[in-house]
Amino acid sequence: MKILAGNWKMNTTFEEGYNLIEALKNELSPERLGDVVVVLAPPVVQLTQAIDLLIDYPEMAVAAQNGHAKDSGAYTGEVSMAQLADAGADAVLIGHSERRQYFGETDQDVNAKVHAALNHELRPIVCVGEVLAERQSGDHLAIVEKQLRAAVAGVTPDLAENLVLAYEPVWAIGTGETATAAQAQEMHAHLRGVLRDLYGDLAQYLPILYGGSCKPSNGAELFAQPDVNGGLIGGASLVAADFIALVDQLQKA
Ligand code: PGA
């Protein structure tokens, strides 16, 4: 499965979100999408708008950007995985580096959220990635492997088939810096190996997305790598023409 996911982060008004989705619907026919599944992650207040607009477009799924691991309770300001599933979301981003950096999410939090999402049949898009100093230390493969193993600890093979992984080098997110295709492939192949160690043959079917300043000028090269199964797109997902160009590149890859 190939996936192009758009992470709108804390951007867009209701009207902008509406216009963006309508533009994608107008252009992205099932024929044009081919084997690409589009996942849109709008701000949580626009989740139901996106779900309603895409009700007749099963090839475009809706994800939340975060969710709480507990089903309900006194957690002011939070939205649970159970509530996201109840609202009709298909998927949820978990452990995005901005959640880890600015909101103190730990590997343990990420693991609890992965279990909660799977329990509620939300497809978890689990984000991992190293910061610049970690890459410069040369230990990036081991560091990201540790994040992945912690994130999926206790996830049994029957549930693991729903996992989606996103490798996002933190130094490449929103910076205009991109990992080279070779750097992305090296990490993706390593993560595929970890998944094979954990889940055997299933690993070859689990999508591993690349994220971090992925845009039409570099998408084709990244998507051409054998272990890159799609993208998690921030900035370029807010511009319909750029996101559509990336869909086309992924479809042809
Ligand atoms: P970017 O963000 O494409 O703007 O770098 C990617 C992400 O954070 O998911």
> Which protein residue's CA is at the shortest distance from atom 9 of ligand 1?
234
pLDDT at 1: 87
Active site annotation includes 96:
yes
pLDDT computed for residue 88 by the predictor: 97
- Average pLDDT value over all residues in the chain: 96
Q: What lines the ligand 1 site, CB under 6 Å?
A: 7, 168, 173-174, 211-214, 232-236
Task: Please check whether residue 168 is in contact with residue 178, taking contact to mean a CB–CB distance below 8 angstroms.
Answer: no
Domain ranges of the chain: 2-252
Q: Which CATH class is domain 2-252?
A: alpha beta
Alpha helices by DSSP H, the chain:
14-27, 30-33, 47-53, 81-87, 97-103, 107-119, 132-137, 140-151, 157-160, 181-199, 216-223, 240-252
Residues of the chain under the 70 pLDDT cut: none
Q: What φ, ψ does residue 125 adopt, rounded to 5°? A: -105, 100
Q: What is the pLDDT of residue 187?
A: 97
Residue 176 has a pLDDT of: 73
How far, in Å, is the centroid of ligand 1 from the Cα of 172?
8
**pLDDT at residue 72, rounded to an integer:** 98
CA dist 149 → 46, 157, 206, 248 (Å)? 32, 14, 15, 32
Q: Could you tell me how many residues make up the chain?
A: 253
For the stretch 110-160, pLDDT in tens is 999 999 999 999 999 999 999 999 998 999 999 999 999 999 999 999 999
pLDDT (0 to 100) of residue 120: 98
Can you give the pLDDT at residue 167? 97
What pLDDT is stored for residue 251 in this prediction? 97
pTM above 0.75, yes or no: yes
Q: Looking at the CA of residue 233, tell me the nearest atom of ligand 1.
A: 3
Q: Which residue has the tokens 């993706």?
A: 188
